[in-house]
Amino acid sequence: MNMSYPVTLKNYRGGQVGVFFADVPEAISAGANQAEALDRAQDALTVALSGYIEDGRRLPVPGKAKRGQPTVVLPPRVAIKLAVHAAMGEQGITQARLGELLGIDGRQVRRILDLDHESKLSQLEAALAALGLRASVSVTKASSAATSIAV
């Protein structure tokens, strides 16, 4: 599952830079310069995608970036949690059923799906495994504008 979303930057008078996501229109942010705008864009994207989870909506699939278009990569832990959520939806697995598969209670499942909760990697890997998935990590050179690790 690709968790790198193309972003559109818009320069405003006074130097402000706006950030917009075609794939996630709810994610909007800005910064005093491009680097700050892209840094804030990651938080805006995470918050917007959290809203998708809360509303029970399918996660938007990232489009392909145009040549030279920057992308925002979600933090690895967030990307894994979103992958768990997406797989549950695709497979028709409820939170209760995932809890049964993992041998944990509903509160622990809710924490796994909570993008703000610092779940242990072992818990996330177990959730993926219960859904027939596994995570792999790709490490890439960070751009000067943003420092993110792609998952």
Q: Write down the pLDDT at residue 144.
A: 52
Read off φ and ψ for residue 134, nearest 5 degrees.
-145, 155
Residue ending a domain, among 51, 73, 95, is: 73
* Cα gap 4→63, rounded to integer Å: 9
pLDDT per position in the chain (151 positions), as tens?
788 999 999 999 888 999 999 999 999 999 999 999 999 999 999 999 999 988 988 899 999 999 999 999 999 999 999 999 999 999 999 999 999 999 999 899 999 999 999 999 999 999 999 999 999 888 877 765 443 434 3
Q: Write down the pLDDT at residue 140.
A: 78
Q: Write down the pLDDT at residue 14.
A: 87
Residue 59 lies in a domain: yes
Residue 51 lies in a domain: yes
Total domains, the chain: 2
* Cα gap 66→114, rounded to integer Å: 31
Residue 148 lies in a domain: no
Owning domain of residue 16: 4-73
Do 37 and 96 sit in the same domain of this protein? no
Q: Write down the pLDDT at residue 2.
A: 80
* Cα gap 125→148, rounded to integer Å: 21
Do 59 and 93 sit in the same domain of this protein? no
Residue 28 lies in a domain: yes
Residue 144 lies in a domain: no
* Cα gap 14→40, rounded to integer Å: 18
Domain CATH code at residue 20: 3.30.160.250
Residue 113 lies in a domain: yes
pTM across the whole model? 0.84
Distances from the Cα of 110 to the Cα of 11, 27, 102, 105, 117, angstroms? 39, 23, 13, 9, 9
Residue 143 lies in a domain: no
